[in-house]
């Protein structure tokens, strides 16, 4: 029985560990932090099969001038980061064309459908139904102009037969009476699932992994070396040998693989979230994307969580709360926020590959080394599906979907 190490205990690493232990492997999960407590903790809490429009699309180029000279709630950037990583930025922008948008949408649709189906099975076997609500994803548009700008994404959704309902102003008011203000249109995604607590879901999945015979080592991986057909893993306190290794360390993947000679074309989208109590009980099932506002919010009775847009900057940059504070001020006009439930906003980083697609598959330069990272801002939605296809690759089986768009070999690493 092969002994496999998964480095990184976020939702992607946990799902990968589950799939491999189900296949009969001896699996160890390694992370210096509690499972699901880093990037996976801070996501919007949505599992969908309809997040198909990548960030670097043709509309990005059209709005580039405005983005450069005006920070927005949905996007802020560090000038020093852009200049220091100018080659990455230019490559990222080079993928902002229609053909790649269509290519990425097809690949992500297949991965997300597989992932949603797999999550639904995991939710059942881990008894996680109490933290799930459906439908789980709603986009709201305040103006006809913003809704018109969404037409390109609607075309992509229609092409891939995504299931959604268009709501008018009266329907929004009727279904979501706790929302203040007028909304022109809404898009309610029927198949999407909202996770009330992403951290709790990760922990339930992790408990299932441990109860299935998995092992967890709460240490940092300091170095990886391939020695006599084995992987020597040096951690904080120990050294261990494994037959195979999967790197699933999200935004830290670039650093950990640099020592092995890989220059991963990865950068970081930082995001913040905050928690508030409300002045009255709020009854809203889906997570809501305020399109003009550029933020996402969701409620659990008398508690609301608000998540900011993207901040493009260094992984270790100091905190900048301007973006999340702007989101909070806009949300106050929609929901009667009361007191802070946490002292300061949570901050995390999401890994972004230059083509906005995750990297899933065999490492090009080494035997028995595998990648599963770079899931951008949709890691929860793609995590379980990526785990399935990677486990099939490790078994040397044909994958259930076309995994070529996610292959590490698409780049010269």
What mean pLDDT is reported for the chain? 93
Instruction: Please count the residues of the chain.
Output: 413
Q: What is the pLDDT of residue 60?
A: 83
pLDDT in tens, 34-84: 998 888 787 889 999 999 999 999 988 777 666 666 667 778 888 888 889
- pLDDT, tens digit (0-9, with 9 covering 90-100), for 187-236: 999 899 999 999 999 999 999 999 999 999 999 999 999 998 999 999 98
Residue 99: partners with Cβ closer than 8 Å, 6 or more residues away: none
Contact by Cβ (8 Å): 153, 52: yes
Residues 6 or more apart in contact with residue 263 via CB below 8 angstroms: 413
193-195 vs 26-30, strand pairing mode:
unpaired
Could you give the CA distance from residue 254 to residue 239 in angstroms, rounded to a whole number? 22
Query: What is the DSSP pairing of strand 346-353 with strand 369-373?
Result: unpaired
Average pLDDT of the residues in 324-332: 94
**In whole angstroms, what is the distance from residue 91 CA to residue 391 CA?**
30
Q: Residue 82: what pLDDT?
A: 87
- Tokens 């050294």 correspond to 239
pLDDT in the model for residue 315: 86
Task: Report CA 318 to chain centroid distance, whole Å.
Answer: 22
Structure tokens at 46: 């949505």
Which domains, and CATH codes, for the chain? 3-41+200-263+357-410 (3.50.50.60), 52-96+131-194+267-353 (3.30.9.10)
The percentage of residues in the chain with a pLDDT greater than 90, rounded to a whole number, is: 79
CA nearest to 52, candidates 140, 194, 159: 159
Q: Which uninterrupted H or E stretch holds 109?
A: helix 98-125
What gap in Å lies between CA 76 and CA 268, rounded to an integer? 12
Return the percentage of the chain with pLDDT > 70, whole number. 98
Average confidence (pLDDT) over 4-23:
97
Q: What is the pLDDT of residue 69?
A: 60
Tokens describing residue 282: 């709020």
Residue 98 to residue 21: CA distance in whole angstroms = 40
- pLDDT at site 78: 83
Structure tokens belonging to residue 83: 């200049």
Strands 137-141 and 75-77, sheet pairing:
unpaired
Beta-carbon contacts of residue 212 (< 8 Å; ≥ 6 apart): 18, 21, 22
Please say if the pLDDT value at position 362 is more than 80.
Answer: yes
**Alpha carbons within 13 A on the beta-carbon side of 261:** 8
Rounded distance between C-alpha atoms, residue 193 and residue 46, angstroms: 6
pLDDT of residue 249: 96
The model's confidence at residue 277, banded by pLDDT at 50, 70 and 90, is: very high
Tell which wins on pLDDT, 74 or 2. 2
Q: What are phi and psi of 321, to 5 degrees?
A: -90, 5
- Mean per-residue pLDDT, 5-31: 97
pLDDT for 144 equals 95
Q: Helices 98-125 and 151-159 sit at what angle, rounded to 10 degrees?
A: 60
How many distinct helices (H) and strands (E) make up the chain? 13, 23
- Say how many C-beta atoms besides its own lie within 10 A of residue 228's C-beta: 6
Return d(Cα 23, Cα 221) in angstroms, integer: 25
H or E stretch covering 170: helix 169-175
Are 44 and 296 within 8 A, CB to CB? yes
């Amino acid at each position: 029985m092969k002994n496999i190490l998964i480095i990184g205990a976020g939702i992607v690493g946990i799902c990968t560990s589950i799939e491999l232990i189900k296949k009969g492997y001896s699996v160890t999960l390694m992370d210096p932090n509690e499972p699901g407590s880093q990037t996976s903790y801070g996501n919007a809490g949505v599992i969908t099969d309809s997040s198909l429009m990548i960030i670097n699309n043709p509309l990005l180029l059209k709005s580039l001038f405005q983005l450069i000279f005006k920070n927005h709630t949905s996007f802020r950037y560090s000038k020093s980061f852009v200049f220091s990583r100018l080659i990455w930025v230019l490559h990222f922008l080079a993928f902002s064309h229609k053909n790649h948008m269509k290519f990425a949408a097809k690949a992500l649709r297949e991965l997300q459908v597989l992932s949603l189906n797999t999550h639904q099975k995991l939710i059942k076997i881990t008894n996680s139904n109490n933290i799930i609500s459906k439908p789980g994803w709603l986009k709201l548009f305040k103006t006809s102009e913003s809704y018109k700008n969404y037409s390109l994404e609607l075309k992509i959704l229609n092409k891939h037969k995504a299931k959604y309902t268009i709501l008018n102003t009266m329907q929004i008011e009727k279904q979501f009476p706790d929302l203040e203000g007028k909304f022109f249109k809404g898009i309610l995604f029927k198949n999407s699932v909202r996770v009330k607590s992403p951290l709790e879901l990760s922990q339930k999945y992790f408990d299932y992994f441990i109860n299935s015979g998995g092992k967890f080592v709460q240490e940092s991986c300091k170095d990886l070396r391939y020695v006599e057909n084995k992987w020597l893993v040096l951690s904080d306190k120990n050294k261990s040998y494994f037959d195979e290794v999967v790197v699933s360390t999200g935004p830290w993947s670039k650093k950990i693989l640099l020592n092995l000679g890989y220059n991963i074309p990865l950068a970081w989208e930082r995001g913040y979230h905050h928690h508030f109590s409300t002045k009255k009980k709020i009854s809203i099932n889906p997570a809501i994307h305020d399109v003009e506002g550029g933020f996402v919010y969701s409620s659990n009775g008398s508690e609301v969580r608000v998540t900011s847009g993207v901040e493009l900057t260094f992984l270790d940059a100091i905190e900048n709360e301007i973006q999340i504070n702007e989101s909070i001020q806009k949300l106050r006009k929609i929901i009667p926020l009361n007191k802070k439930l946490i002292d300061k906003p949570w901050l995390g980083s999401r890994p972004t590959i230059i083509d906005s697609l995750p990297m899933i598959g065999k490492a090009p330069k080494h035997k028995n080394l595998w990648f599963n990272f770079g899931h951008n801002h949709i890691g929860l939605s793609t995590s379980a599906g990526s785990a399935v296809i990677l486990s099939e690759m490790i078994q040397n089986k044909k994958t259930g979907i076309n995994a070529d768009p996610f292959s590490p070999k698409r780049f010269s690493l």
